[in-house]
Amino acid sequence: MEQTELQVEIPSVLKQTSCQNIKGFDCVDYGNRNDPNPLENAISDKESYGESIAGSNITKLERQEVVIISSPASPSGLHIGQTKLVLHSEKCENTDQNNTKNPYPQLAKQKKFHSQPILVRENGDRKVVHSEAIRDHRFDPFKTWSGRLERQISNLRGKPTQEPDIEAGASEREEIEEAPGVDRYFDALEGPELDTLRATEVSVLPEDEKWPFLLRFPVNAFGICLGVSSQAILWKTLNTSPAMSFLHISPMPNLILWWAALALILFVSLVYLLKIVFYFEAVKREYYHPVRVNFFFAPWIACLFMALAVPPSIAVNLRPFIWYILMTPIFMLELKIYGQWMSGGQRRLSKVANPSNHLSIVGNFVGALLGANMGLKEGPIFFFAVGLAHYIVLFVTLYQRLPTNAALPKELHPVFFLFVAAPSVACMAWAKIQGDFDYAARIPYFIALFLYMSLAVRVNFFRGIRFSLAWWAYTFPMTGASIATIKYTMAVTNIVTRSLSVCLSAISTFTVSTLLVYTIIHAFVLRDLFPNDISIAITRKKPKFSKMLAHFRSSSSDSKDFDSSVSKNSDI
């Protein structure tokens, strides 16, 4: 992968061309270039290179070899002094080169669980890196303090930074400030969760190596918290509900799950907080992602779940101020998100409608339920009303399947289980507000039940769908339906409802357990729980056709697939 290897492999005809281009290949912010758009530079260089090649008579094989060259870290030794410095001062940046030394001893234990596979690989890389002493700049655009802190320190040490570097930094800053528009996300990504790059697109971050852990840690991870904390509620309900007393469930599962969920929430929050601090651009891009944005509700909903699942041995009655604290961020996000739906820009509902939008609705009902549990009255109704109005809008929109909803998956997908979440929580919330599981509560309950059945009968559900962390978020609706069924069983106690309660509880626990096993396998065996989060690495503008072509030639997929995707794209 080093330049020496390179010279051996490249035929002499190509040597000059390639040498001219190597410098610019990876230089996201090289310092010696006055490039106004560094993020797209890597690509345009590839392109110009591809074009220059196109003139000569090189075979495909030769070209591919050359392109492979572009993947390693920048070969020039320009920043050697600086980079060494960085290795000491920027420990927490977690780039490929320097996140081997964990700067957070207090998190070491948990973190190791997830990062070990990466660490191992990086350990291998590290030697190369140290031997060359080169800092990888390719992740800089996503770093919060990419070059600044570095420069400040080197300035303190008396080494003036080159002027061009600052200029490049400024233009890079500019680029970062403009995150890609929603249309770009739809254009560049595909799949029900908009997390796969289209064949015609190129990533701004290297696709062929593992990114820093924090960059790969998506906001979807809060889904795990949702899954576990909702299970805690389920087992609390199974324990405390008189209608289910025949099962003789002990309070222990609730207690254990609650503490596990608490630990999980704390860990995920902390890691994500680090991401916010060190890779704010990446967080911003997640926030602008039309599907991901809904997951920003997840942490708060998980907290609401924790408050609902609190074991009776820890606290019986929570103080209402907790409710106000937890509902504030949800309310703020709603003002923002719902406003965007209505105000008709790029994020209008007919464009971004996706089952994951349910996550931004369900918070209202969970909030209403918790508030009603605490004995509040007006607040819960407020959120219930807001949730109802927007749920109707979303339900109709998703059911209609407008042709403009580009993001909606063609086939059913676990994400559709989110349909069940809102009505099953809503019925509990209303029953609590009203003080009785009356007809008005049964209507949403039965809607949830029908949707559940409607989804369950479509058995080819999990077939051919790639596992993803987001699946965790799709389990809590099943748990929610189970809890609602138990509440309903309390109102209508008979053998049918009891069986249904047991059945649904078993299914939801089984699903969560299966998912846990999957997650553990992916985390420790396959070591791909956190793959490169390609969703945040799309270019700001559509790559030109020649770029796509260059990119495509460099990739190994067959041209048939490419042609179809190109033509599909041009059709749109």
Please answer whether residues 99 and 212 qualify as being in contact, where contact means their C-beta atoms are separated by less than 8 angstroms.
yes
* Angstrom distance (rounded) from CA 337 to CA 325: 19
Of 60-68, 231-239, 311-319, 333-341, which part binds a second copy (CB under 8 A)? 333-341
Alpha helices in 33-156 (DSSP H): 38-55, 60-69, 80-89, 108-132, 148-156
Q: Tokens 């209507």 — which residue?
A: 443
Q: Which of 255, 353, 483, 550 binds a second copy (CB under 8 A)?
A: 353
Burial of 109 (0-12, 13-18, 19+ CB in 10 A): exposed
Interhelix angle 222-240/495-520, nearest 10 degrees: 150
Q: Closest distance between a second copy and the C-beta of residue 241, in Å? A: 18
* Angstrom distance (rounded) from CA 219 to CA 221: 5
Q: Count Cβ neighbours within 10 Å for each residue of 22-44 and write b for 16 or more, e otherwise.
A: bbbbbbbbbbebebeebbbbbbb
Chain centre to alpha carbon of residue 253? 29
Q: Would you give the binding string for a second copy spanning residues 357-396, x where CB under 8 A is met?
A: ---------------------x--xx-xxx-xxx-xx-xx
Enclosing H/E stretch for 372: helix 358-373
Total number of residues that touch a second copy (CB under 8 A): 58
Q: Which of 124, 160, 242, 403 binds a second copy (CB under 8 A)?
A: 403
Q: Which of 434, 513, 557, 559 binds a second copy (CB under 8 A)?
A: 434
Q: Does 291 bind a second copy (CB under 8 A)?
A: no
What Å distances lie between residue 48 and 43, 53, 555, CA to CA? 9, 8, 17
Per-residue tokens: 193: 């969760």
Burial of 558 (0-12, 13-18, 19+ CB in 10 A): exposed
Q: Quote the strand ranges of 411-513, DSSP E.
A: none
Q: Does 345 bind a second copy (CB under 8 A)?
A: yes
Q: Does 19 bind a second copy (CB under 8 A)?
A: no
Length of the chain equals: 572
Of 35-43, 163-171, 274-282, 345-353, which part binds a second copy (CB under 8 A)? 345-353
* Angstrom distance (rounded) from CA 94 to CA 428: 44
Q: Give the residue among 192, 266, 205 at the shortest CA–CA distance from 468.
A: 192
Q: Closest distance between a second copy and the C-beta of residue 397, in Å? A: 5
Per-residue tokens: 3: 């330049």
Q: Does 401 bind a second copy (CB under 8 A)?
A: yes
Q: Closest distance between a second copy and the C-beta of residue 328, in Å? A: 13
Q: Closest distance between a second copy and the C-beta of residue 338, in Å? A: 6
Q: Strands 196-197, 189-190: parallel, antiparallel or unpaired by DSSP?
A: antiparallel
Q: Would you give the binding string for a second copy spanning residues 492-521, x where CB under 8 A is met?
A: x-----------------------------
Q: Closest distance between a second copy and the C-beta of residue 363, in Å? A: 13
Of 39-47, 316-324, 434-442, 546-554, which part binds a second copy (CB under 8 A)? 434-442
Q: 433 CB contacts (<8 Å, ≥6 apart)?
A: 368, 372, 377, 380, 381, 384
Q: Does 571 bind a second copy (CB under 8 A)?
A: no
Q: Does 490 bind a second copy (CB under 8 A)?
A: no
Q: Closest distance between a second copy and the C-beta of residue 518, in Å? A: 24
What does DSSP assign to residue 197? E
Q: Which is nearer to a second copy, 118 or 408 (CB)?
A: 408
Q: Which is nearer to a second copy, 238 or 353 (CB)?
A: 353
Per-residue tokens: 473: 């978020």
What Å distances lie between residue 455 and 149, 336, 413, 448, 449, CA to CA? 52, 31, 9, 11, 10
Q: Tokens 């009891």 — which residue?
A: 498
Q: Would you give the binding string for a second copy spanning residues 444-473, x where CB under 8 A is met?
A: xxxx-xx--xxx-xx---------------
Q: Which is nearer to a second copy, 142 or 391 (CB)?
A: 391
Q: Which is nearer to a second copy, 222 or 488 (CB)?
A: 488
Q: Closest distance between a second copy and the C-beta of residue 398, in Å? A: 7
Phi, psi (5° rounding) for residue 151?
-65, -40
Phi, psi (5° rounding) for residue 478?
-65, -45
Q: Closest distance between a second copy and the C-beta of residue 174, in Å? A: 23
Q: Closest distance between a second copy and the C-beta of residue 453, in Å? A: 7
Q: Give the residue among 551, 563, 534 at the shortest CA–CA distance from 191.
A: 534
Q: Closest distance between a second copy and the C-beta of residue 197, in Å? A: 22
Of 68-76, 227-235, 339-347, 547-555, which part binds a second copy (CB under 8 A)? 339-347
Enclosing H/E stretch for 196: strand 196-197
Q: Which of 350, 513, 557, 559 binds a second copy (CB under 8 A)?
A: 350
Q: Closest distance between a second copy and the C-beta of residue 373, in Å? A: 17
Q: Which is nearer to a second copy, 225 or 349 (CB)?
A: 349
Q: Closest distance between a second copy and the C-beta of residue 389, in Å? A: 5
Q: Does 484 bind a second copy (CB under 8 A)?
A: no
Q: Which is nearer to a second copy, 32 or 346 (CB)?
A: 346
Q: Does 328 bind a second copy (CB under 8 A)?
A: no
Question: Quick one: the chain helix, strand, coil %, rounded to 5?
Answer: 70, 0, 30
Please answer whether residues 70 and 62 qualify as being in contact, where contact means their C-beta atoms are separated by less than 8 angstroms.
no
Q: Which is nearer to a second copy, 292 or 351 (CB)?
A: 351
Q: Which of 12, 57, 317, 343 binds a second copy (CB under 8 A)?
A: 343
Burial of 58 (0-12, 13-18, 19+ CB in 10 A): middle
Q: Closest distance between a second copy and the C-beta of residue 406, in Å? A: 11
Q: Closest distance between a second copy and the C-beta of residue 371, in Å? A: 13
Interface residues with a second copy (CB under 8 A) are 335, 338-339, 341-345, 348-351, 353, 378, 381-382, 384-386, 388-390, 392-393, 395-404, 408-412, 416, 419, 433-434, 439, 442-447, 449-450, 453-455, 457-458, 492
